Amino acid sequence: MAVTNGRQAKARKLNLWRGHVGKAPQMTSSFDAVVVRIVNGDTVEVAPKQGGPRRTIQFSSTRQPKTADPKQAAWQAEVKEFLRKRLIGKSVHVQIDYTKPASEGFGARDAATVTISGKNIAHELVERGYATVIRHRKDDEDRSPSYDTLLELEQTYLMSVHG
């Protein structure tokens, strides 16, 4: 059986993964929520349906257009509008993938896979060119469970734009 991606090679401990010992699995949480606010192109605020405080959730392994880059800054309003139309007031399923530790003046943030009607929002953003995929180190376990798919979607989008 041929190995088709890095995740399979890792699971079978092939090549550079031979002898690899990963981190102990983290307890992840998942819950249903209603999106109450779009913070920016990669972050939303949700109100859990089972009650409790609102939570700010960042989409796993994605990054919104950069404000410092004039070519990307123009996309920020369009990304927020897309998310507003797609998510505000709607029920979503949130699966916490990891927590980003506090750094550079930002507090700790939950990174999650957010799905609506079974569709991963991060996938939709990347395939439309509204977000880029964060490049994680090979040994970094804190990333989206669909990281390989995100990379493929980004590559497909770039090929369609740049030919």
Q: pTM value?
A: 0.76
Give pLDDT, residue 116: 97
Residue 1 in this model has a pLDDT that exceeds 60? no
pLDDT band at 19 (very low <50, low <70, confident <90, very high): low
pLDDT tens-place string over residues 87-119? 999 999 999 999 988 887 878 889 999 999 999
pLDDT higher for 17 or 80? Answer: 80
How confident is the model over 120-137, as a mean pLDDT? 90
Nearest to 82 by CA among 42, 34, 32: 42
Give pLDDT, residue 125: 95
pLDDT higher for 11 or 56? Answer: 56
Query: What rounded mean pLDDT belongs to the chain?
Result: 84
- The CATH number of domain 27-162, selected from 2.40.10.10, 2.40.50.90, 3.30.160.60, 3.40.50.720: 2.40.50.90
The proportion of the chain whose per-residue pLDDT surpasses 90, expressed as a percent, equals 49
Q: DSSP assignment of 78-127, as one string?
A: HHHHHHHHHHBT-EEEEEEEEEEPPBTTBPPEEEEEEEETTEEHHHHHHH
Give pLDDT, residue 37: 97
How crowded is residue 77: how many other Cβ atoms within 10 Å of its Cβ? 11
DSSP 138: T
pLDDT band at 142 (very low <50, low <70, confident <90, very high): confident
How crowded is residue 44: how many other Cβ atoms within 10 Å of its Cβ? 26
